[in-house]
Amino acid sequence: MKFRDFFNEKDYIIFDGAMGTEIYARGVPKGLCYDELNITMPEIVKEIHLAYKNAGAEVITTNTFGANRFILEEYFGIGDKVREINYYGARIARQIAQQDIFVAGSIGPISRPLDRDKRLSKEEVREIFREQIEAILEGGADLLVFETFSCLEELIAGIEVAREVDKDVFIIAEMSFPNNGLTLFGKNPYEVASRLDQTSADVVGSNCGTGPQNVYEAVKKMSAVTDRELSAMPNAGLARFVQGKFYYPYNPHYFAEYGRKFLAAGVKIIGGCCGTTPEHIRQLKKRLHGLKPIRKRPKRITFVSSEEPVRKKEEVKSKLKKLLEKGGVFLMEVDPPRGADLENLIKRVEPYIENVQALTVSDSPMARPRMSPISTARLLKDRLGKEVVVHYTCRDRNIIGMQSDLLGAHALGLENFIALGGDPPSIGDYPFATGVYDLTSEGLVELMSALNHGVDFLGNPITSKTGFFIGIGMRIPEDPEELDGVFRKLEKGAHFVVSQPVFDVEKAIRAFRVLKERGIPVVAGILPLISYKNAEYLHFEVPGIEIPEIFLERMRGKSGEAGEVEGLKIALEILEKILPEVNGVLIMPPLGRYYLVSRLLSEFLAVNR
């Protein structure tokens, strides 16, 4: 029997449950390519299929959710195995299904929401779908299920390609709504169902989400705008991470009770997603025995998409922005304390900031733990009355923590940030610590700019926009044509540039002039040398810093007071040449010697008042 005929005859159809979490439960660790098990460890996949068949599933789903060329190549380097993995994924399921039950080819999203650097064209997306779909159908799948999609346009493209490959193939199209009832990109079930109602999908619905309640609410809303049959395949609930392992709630009876609610809402296809097991399907089958879905649908409503733009106009009112526009700004870099007491830092910094307009606060430099730069900056601003600039790195925080930090910083009145990658943990006190790096510094700029426009990183509206003045770090290039990375960050939303310490003045000026011609405020870094040992270390061991031989010779043999005096002379020469070319300078006192900043600026201003 063709699946379409079976579908038309049945009151409801029970699908299987999770594949990935069942593989994980059998000891296959996270991080491996589960789809590749179709050709490397097929017995595990067969075992899971058989367990669902014995539990009463009328359709089993292939182990091919992530088996498209983009995912296989980008994350596992096995893009050349697309056809093999999908073909055998379908064959394995077919061997277990026999002629007793049906096989659904599982197709997941191609793109990943955070892969901003790996953009695919519409045609590339279509070809990736085509390659996977052809192999799944060739392997013997009876129907296709597009599941866990967050991008509506990508799902619609997949449906169109499937219909081109086989005009009669049965298609189920499901999206996930984990974001308080919205997709990751902020689409609600009404809009999703309304758009899918215009496609050739046979069934539309929701899967995964945050559990049965979430999917139930989604399909109820979808039913209000579409006459298509509905599907619901929730996960078991929210996962926990305990002692290095993921655990989902074990709730087969609760899950089965929601199966009854799905039927009452008019859902025809019911199955499970992450965390559901053969026992969930067994209990679902038992609970639904003898019941029929309620075909009466709520009164149809028409969904009208809002034309109001989600992204709002950026408004940056930072005092530092205005100061840099005028020029001649002096900033001083401060390292937060290595404890919870700020008083000693205040005593060390306060006597030397008379000629400084702003303080920049580093973020655990050299990957050595210090007080939070956000907390330090807020306290310094309160106590010293100076503008503050927060160095903020991608090293220690995932994308959730970053957004939380930044929204909190905005609420505290912090406006000025420098987006940085951060020194890797391997060079610091905790080399065994995990470097998170969910985003690059370019991605961090994009995130901060999104918040400035009233949306989060995925484009979902937030209740109020921020007003960050966004800076970026810059390595001084040999040739100004090597500024591509800087320009990319500026295009993503950065507002000003802070350079690494300047020693080769002519090379720095060439780069700075290119930026200033484009109206980009530039802050030049100046780092007073204190000894030959210090100069030698910076030149040979610190990436991005090159000290001309003439300066190395001037520092040779010098240390102590003599080293500081010569280092200040060099810094003064650089400052006098560089200040007319930039909007400001950031003086970076070595080893917390803040008095050097005062001495340098006093000497400079005595001559240049």
pLDDT in tens, 238-261: 888 777 777 888 999 999 999 999
- The answer to whether residues 368 and 493 belong to one domain is yes
- The answer to whether residues 245 and 324 belong to one domain is no
Nearest CA to 252 among 271, 277, 274? 277
Task: Give, in degrees to the nearest 5, the angle at Cα 388 between 384 and 393.
Answer: 135
Token pair of 472, please?
């970026």
Domain membership flag for residue 606: no
Average of per-residue pLDDT across 324-348: 96
Q: Is the pLDDT of residue 182 over 80?
A: yes
What is the model's pLDDT at position 119? 80
Using CA of residue 349, residue 609, residue 573, residue 504, what is the dihedral sign?
positive
What does DSSP assign to residue 432?
Answer: T
What is the model's pLDDT at position 97? 98
- The answer to whether residues 100 and 140 belong to one domain is yes
Domain boundary among 271, 288, 305: 288
- The answer to whether residues 352 and 240 belong to one domain is no
Domain boundary among 266, 288, 310: 288
pLDDT band of 28, cuts 50, 70, 90? very high
How far is the C-alpha of 162 from the C-alpha of 58, rounded, in Å? Answer: 23
Residues 550-583 pLDDT 10s: 999 999 999 999 999 999 999 999 999 999 999 9
Q: How many CA atoms lie within 13 A of 377 on its CB side?
A: 27
Q: Is the pLDDT of residue 300 over 70?
A: no
pLDDT band of 118, cuts 50, 70, 90? confident
Tell me what the pLDDT averaged over the chain comes to: 94
pLDDT band of 299, cuts 50, 70, 90? low
pLDDT band of 1, cuts 50, 70, 90? confident
Domain membership flag for residue 608: no
How far is the C-alpha of 429 from the C-alpha of 410, rounded, in Å? Answer: 30
- The answer to whether residues 214 and 138 belong to one domain is yes
Average of per-residue pLDDT across 136-142: 98
87 with 139: CB under 8 angstroms?
Answer: yes
Nearest CA to 87 among 154, 161, 35? 35
Nearest CA to 89 among 25, 162, 138, 160? 138
pLDDT band of 297, cuts 50, 70, 90? low
CATH number at residue 479: 3.20.20.220
Q: In the chain, how many domains are there?
A: 2
63 with 37: CB under 8 angstroms?
Answer: yes
- The answer to whether residues 281 and 324 belong to one domain is no
pTM, whole model, 2 decimals? Answer: 0.80
Domain membership flag for residue 333: yes
CATH number at residue 217: 3.20.20.330
What is the model's pLDDT at position 301? 66
Average of per-residue pLDDT across 169-192: 93
Task: Give, in degrees to the nearest 5, the angle at Cα 63 between 58 and 65.
Answer: 110
- The answer to whether residues 227 and 373 belong to one domain is no
- For residue 214, the enclosing domain spans 3-288
Higher per-residue pLDDT: 303 or 444: 444
What is the model's pLDDT at position 56? 98
The pairing of strands 245-247 and 240-242 is antiparallel
